[in-house]
Chains A and B, each alone.
Chain A
């Protein structure tokens, strides 16, 4: 248990659906991240938030929309996804300064049908 939780753990959605992934951290961290983990590929950074402000968007398609209402919560809103978006979506948090460790959540296994 790393102090970062993600819900749901598994999600199956159609291409026309709208769903949201939720991440919560109980560590008092200031930075939060979304990563995508696909089979046979390195983890890909999607978004970074620091003090609720988005600091990085790694050329992610607009069908993925992040939201960070406060430093403890991070959402990933999904709409009109494609089958190739099926992957494990990992959330992470870190103190937000210096050489800090990122703490990962257990991930949401997303399947787009």
Chain B
């Protein structure tokens, strides 16, 4: 079974600063997908960014980027120019190529201070 580990239960960042959230995963497969989801206090989970394991280039979506290290099985999320609206729970998730299910980490609670 694949496991996803987020070692930071809570993180804090000042507005306009940069923060990096960590995620590691365990798998024996070579082809899979990785995701970062955001769950604000309103509870509706939304996708922030995704990465295909076969792509060497790190995914980027505006202020959000990832550092995907396949050999190390690491998938960190960097948030640049943090905004108050970025405050939320962030979940790292793994999905194998041939399945539907997402395996989630326990999440990191991000606090953004003015």
Contacts and interface: CB of A to CB of B under 8 A. Distances in A.
Given A42-B4, A43-B91, A2 B46 contact: yes
Interface residues of A, number: 27
B5 to A, nearest CB: 10
Nearest to B47: A101
A88 interface: yes
Given A48-B100, A104-B37, A104-B45, 14 more contacts: A42-B105, A42-B106, A42-B107, A45-B102, A45-B103, A88-B43, A90-B45, A96-B100, A99-B33, A99-B50, A99-B52, A102-B102, A106-B42, A107-B44
B43 A56 contact: no
Contacts of A45: 101-103
A76 interface: no
Contacts, number: 52
Given A43-B91, A88-B43, A106-B44, A101 B50 contact: yes
Residue among A1, A45, A88, A92 having the largest count of chain B Cβ atoms under 10 Å = A45
Nearest to B100: A48
A42 B104 contact: yes
B4 to A, nearest CB: 7
A31 interface: yes
A104 B45 CA distance: 6
9 shortest interchain CB distances as A-B pairs: A104-B45, A43-B104, A42-B104, A45-B101, A106-B44, A101-B47, A48-B100, A42-B106, A107-B43
Contacts of B50: 99, 101
A105 interface: yes
Interface string A77-106: 000000000001010101010010111111
